[in-house]
Amino acid sequence: MFETIHSDLKRLSPSSRTSLRSMLSGLLSQGFQAILVFRLFNWLHLRGFSGQPLRFVCERFIEITTGISIPACCSIGKGFRIHHFGGIFFHPTVVLGENCTLYHGVTIGDRGGYGRAATIGNNVLIGAGAKIIGDITIGDNCIIGANAVVTRSMQANTVAIGSPCRFKTRDDKTTIQADPSARPIPRIMDFRGSYKGGGGPDKTVLNSAAQHDPDKVFVMVVYLRQPWDLEFQIPDMARRLGINYTDIPDGSRLDTACLKQLKNIIKTHNLQLIHTHDDKTLLYAWLLSLMLPGLKVMHTCHSHAIQRREDFSSLRGYVGFKLRRRLLTFLMQRYHKPIITVSDDTRQRLVASGLSRSDITVLHNGIDLSVWRPDKGQPVLKQELQVRPDEYLVGTVARITSEKDLPTFYRVVEAVATHMPNVRFAIVGDGYGDELTKAREEVARRNLSHLITFTGHRTDLPDIYASFDIFLMTSITEGMPNTLLEAMAMGIPSVSTAVGGIPELLNHDCGGFLTPAGDAPGLAGHVLNLLSDPQLRNACGEACRQQVNTHFSFSRRVQRMEEYYACFAGLPQSAQEPETLQGGGERD
């Protein structure tokens, strides 16, 4: 926060230096007073503190005395300056880049009560009386003239004039108060599609964007969303993190309107590199690279399922799966190398699909240990389920999909209940469609409703993990599961199937236990062994925490990704080039 305020103060000095004079000018400037109040409560907001009722009092006081209303949940980069105060109003979803300048009478809002407000780039000047309306994108180095009304996206280095506005290209293309000593940084689109509350990869994408050093990389997070997904929660997650974010409706297998919007975002923000994370973004990025020569593409493969004919109820489904896999392999072979995977197992699967081992590297998922630690959670779920002191709670956190193999989970419940009837079970998560309803029906059919509780999607995961005596995972395929990382970081002893990258994370007999996929008796035996031995549970919990702390640091992962971005974008970097760009893999 103080570094950002320091950058704001520098904008008040002609020499771009902070001095006693600039500090006094700032304290006497109504515009800077409003910025100072925003910075304080935005800092609290990003850390989960509402600041109420003091926030309400201070914001209303600033609004009355200066005529400036900037909600604390806005995202505003450093070097912000308000030249003249009065009549300045921001919608809560405004995203404003670095070194931006505003004059009086500026409104940045939504379209009459619905939708989001604008995402505005770096070094943008907004003249007196200008209005920016709707979920549009304003590129870097733009100038919006006095009294202009902007309702369409603007490409970088553009001037908007008049009402309705018309655009023209800037002649000088100079930045506003730019640091002449600054070296170029890679400009990235972090690109993913998801639904509802998302999953593990979404946490990695969003939290990485929040932790990247803005002096080393510019990241614009772009999500594909289905227009009919009314439970899409990614925008709220992004807003809480204060990152550069937008999402685009994607309503068909190949949505040309979506591609057009993506192309516009790339041009508006001068993006050099698209980082994809799933099948659909993999395809769209390849098409965009054909439309925009020079655009580079990198891909992270979070999971690569290998399924057989017997895994499908119809031949058509199996053939469709095989065709998609062939298309994905074809695309990955044409991407810039290396392909990044989150586990050694995923790399082996890609090699078996036809990729060269030297073209694939491993960058394990990580976890922020300052967030995921035992003292951060309370056993809220135990209280909600009224679990008695003499009872245990075994649970999992997962999307309800066939890969999670819940039938094996149910068989583990049946086996454990035979020997220890005082054990309860919880499944935390939701499905894409009606999977949760069907799962509840199946549990009722098995007469296990008194033992198994489905909670649906939850956002209070530290409290969820703190409620578990054991974390149980029965998946038949995984990449590097974030939920297992989170449980281990919280010090929860874990029992899991030895699939995907899980053996790279959880060591058998040290932190927990592993069995082959589908081995319900083996899983049940390990659960019973842990429940009957408190000392073993404590030792395993401590070993889990230590394993994550030693090998799966999120900050190290973010740093390595910044080095990858610089290398892929072809820019010089202060750090050594990642060894894995020359082939092979790495482990923290």
Question: Do the beta carbons of residue 150 and residue 136 sit within 8 Å?
Answer: yes
Residue range 2-169 forms a domain whose CATH class is: mainly beta
At residue 332, the pLDDT reads 83
Domain 374-551 is found in CATH 3.90.1150.10: no
At residue 578, the pLDDT reads 55
Q: What does the DSSP assignment read for 10-57? A: HTTSTTS---HHHHHHHHH-HHHHHHHHHHHHHHHHHTT---TTHHHH
- From CA 17, how far away is CA 177, in angstroms rounded? 11
At residue 23, the pLDDT reads 66
557: its two tokens: 């992962």
**Could you state, in chain order, the average pLDDT of each consecutive group of 10 residues for the chain (588 residues)?**
81 60 68 89 86 89 89 91 85 92 90 83 90 91 88 89 79 48 78 86 90 89 91 88 90 91 89 92 92 90 74 75 78 82 90 88 89 92 95 95 93 96 95 90 96 93 96 92 94 95 91 94 96 95 93 90 88 50 44
Domain with CATH 3.40.50.2000 in the chain: 187-362, 374-551
- From CA 419, how far away is CA 396, in angstroms rounded? 20
At residue 522, the pLDDT reads 96
> Where does 187-362 sit in CATH, by number?
3.40.50.2000
Decide: pTM greater than 0.85. Answer: no
At residue 95, the pLDDT reads 93
At a CB cut-off of 8 Å and minimum separation 6, what does 96 contact? Answer: 74, 75, 76, 77, 80, 108, 120, 124
- From CA 133, how far away is CA 126, in angstroms rounded? 13
- From CA 346, how far away is CA 364, in angstroms rounded? 11
At residue 465, the pLDDT reads 96
At residue 176, the pLDDT reads 43
Give burial (CB, 10 Å; 0-12/13-18/19+) of 190. buried
Question: Do the beta carbons of residue 131 and residue 160 sit within 8 Å?
Answer: no
What is the Cα Rg of the chain in Å?
Answer: 26
CB atoms within 10 A of CB 321: 17
468: its two tokens: 């578990």
At a CB cut-off of 8 Å and minimum separation 6, what does 521 contact? Answer: 415
Question: Do the beta carbons of residue 365 and residue 341 sit within 8 Å?
Answer: no
What's the 3-state SS for 48-92?
CCCCCCHHHHHHHHHHHHHCEECCCCCEECCCCEECCCCCEEECC
At residue 307, the pLDDT reads 65
Triad 471, 436, 427: Cα angle to 5°: 15
- From CA 487, how far away is CA 370, in angstroms rounded? 14
Q: How far from 349 is each of 21, 252, 281, 305, 582, CA to CA, in Å?
A: 62, 29, 20, 8, 20
- From CA 338, how far away is CA 310, in angstroms rounded? 33
Give burial (CB, 10 Å; 0-12/13-18/19+) of 269. buried
At residue 572, the pLDDT reads 57
